Structure 1
Amino acid sequence: MDGTVRTYPVHGTGPVCVTHPGGPGIAREHLRVPVTGRHLTMVYVEPVGNGAPGDCPGAPTAVSATSRFLEVLITARP
């Protein structure tokens, strides 16, 4: 998308559910509830700003970058 690598582990089977922990500095690990994978394909998005140094210079940029990333992820065709 913008040359920055984004991660999003996928677990489970069934209809897709995209999760986002809320913002830079909040890890996605607390969202993982293995029982949900019995019924849903869970996509755990890593927030923009949680990656490598320089991933995101500030909150307004993080919000717009996250919005663009989620739009691409959700509308992607396999």
Structure 2
Amino acid sequence: MSLIITDECINCDVCEPECPNGAIYQGDEIYEIDPNKCTECVGHFDEPQCQQVCPVDCIPLDPNNVETKEQLMEKFVKLTAKS
């Protein structure tokens, strides 16, 4: 499943540059994650990098976007494919 940023976000700006897929962006009030680009860092790292750097622990799994590791790897392959 992809990740989601909750209301506890303090807009500290540390998660956005850590995302290798460019899935994190500044929303209207807090940072948000594009579920179509989030692979939980599968294919890049062993752990989601945004979760590792978040000082307020506000980036849980998104229960509305359940995906298996295989699906996340397929998404990674599509996102990183050369056009």
TM-score where L is the length of structure 1: 0.32
TM-score where L is the length of structure 2: 0.30
Larger helix fraction of residues: 1
The structure that has the greater radius of gyration is 1
Q: Which structure would you say has the larger RCO, counting Cα contacts within 8 Å and 6 or more residues apart?
A: 2
Larger strand fraction of residues: 1
